[in-house]
Amino acid sequence: MDIVSENRSFGGVQGVYTHDSNTCGCEMTFAVYLPPQAEEGPVPVLWYLSGLTCTHENAMTKAGLQEHAAMHGLAVVFPDTSPRGEGVANDEAYDVGQGAGFYVNATRSPWRPHYRMYDYILNELRDVVTAEFKVDGRHGITGHSMGGHGALTLAMRNPDQFDSVSAFAPIGNPTKSDWGRKQFSAYLGDDEASWADHDATMLLEDKGWKGDILVDQGGADQFLDLLRPDALAEMLARRRQAGTFRMQKGYDHSYFFVNSFAGDHVAWHADRLY
């Protein structure tokens, strides 16, 4: 692991790091915020997964999580959204290829050699973070848009590895949306039965979640038809899943929306991780 930068932030340290990933077969960049409480001992971890076109940097600089994390004593991990670099497959479209890994393990060419973001987040980067930073075994996960999809699906499929889950405007039903069908066809193939493991609404029906779930959605989000929050909310109700779905009037899909409710989510995770 190499240090790219480390800066003091709200009494803690915001760092950016690179490492050679065996899972993705390329160099990967990620960021970690360590709160001041980490100087006294290991702290719980909140994973933040970003959306389409983002890198580790977008949420690190725009979501405003550091102040809240410092207040509650949580580390925050900001992974990248896809593998990158020379030799890594890409596409001219913004919603497939680099910046659009969708947190799946690709099984089709040309994506298969590098696009293994599911395993990367769940196993390899988790091992790096726990080995290199003062964090303990309590892990929560959240994310925005494509990252909200990733947070919900990783948590529901791996309840032994995550203790809390929330999402900001997640892609809630990707098997029925152009934000999902296009990417799953490219990465996973045309067998739609294999897509179910990456659809939060379908996973909620099949597996549910061991605790409660927090979801915030902007009521003026310009991508509502692609996100399909109605399907996710209806399944929460139908399954009688413990949780809170909040439609926030007037808010769009931007980081202004995420920043506005970041404090609520960090506090919510802290209550479940401590």
Of 9, 50, 145, 164, the active-site residue reads 145
Of 68, 139, 144, 253, the active-site residue reads 253
pLDDT tens figures, 210-220: 999 999 999 99
Confidence class for position 253, pLDDT limits 50, 70, 90: very high
Domain that holds residue 99: 2-271
Other Cβ atoms within 10 Å of 167 Cβ, number: 30
Report the pLDDT value the prediction gives residue 169, as an integer from 0 to 100.
98
Of 68, 166, 221, 265, the active-site residue reads 221
Closest by CA to 106, choosing from 186, 46, 168, 19, is: 186
Tell me whether residue 221 is one of the annotated catalytic residues. Answer: yes
Confidence class for position 161, pLDDT limits 50, 70, 90: very high
Q: How many domains does the chain have?
A: 1
Closest by CA to 169, choosing from 155, 156, 150, 188, is: 150
pTM check: above 0.85: yes
Tell me whether residue 145 is one of the annotated catalytic residues. Answer: yes
CATH number at residue 15: 3.40.50.1820
Closest by CA to 174, choosing from 143, 211, 156, 148, is: 148
Report the pLDDT value the prediction gives residue 106, as an integer from 0 to 100.
98
Tell me whether residue 166 is one of the annotated catalytic residues. Answer: no
* Identity of the residue numbered 247: M
Q: What is the mean pLDDT of the chain?
A: 98
Query: Is 48 within 8 Å of 81 (Cβ atoms)?
Result: no
- What is the layout of strands, in order, in the sheet containing 12-21? 2-9, 12-21, 26-34, 75-79, 43-49, 135-143, 164-168, 213-218, 243-248
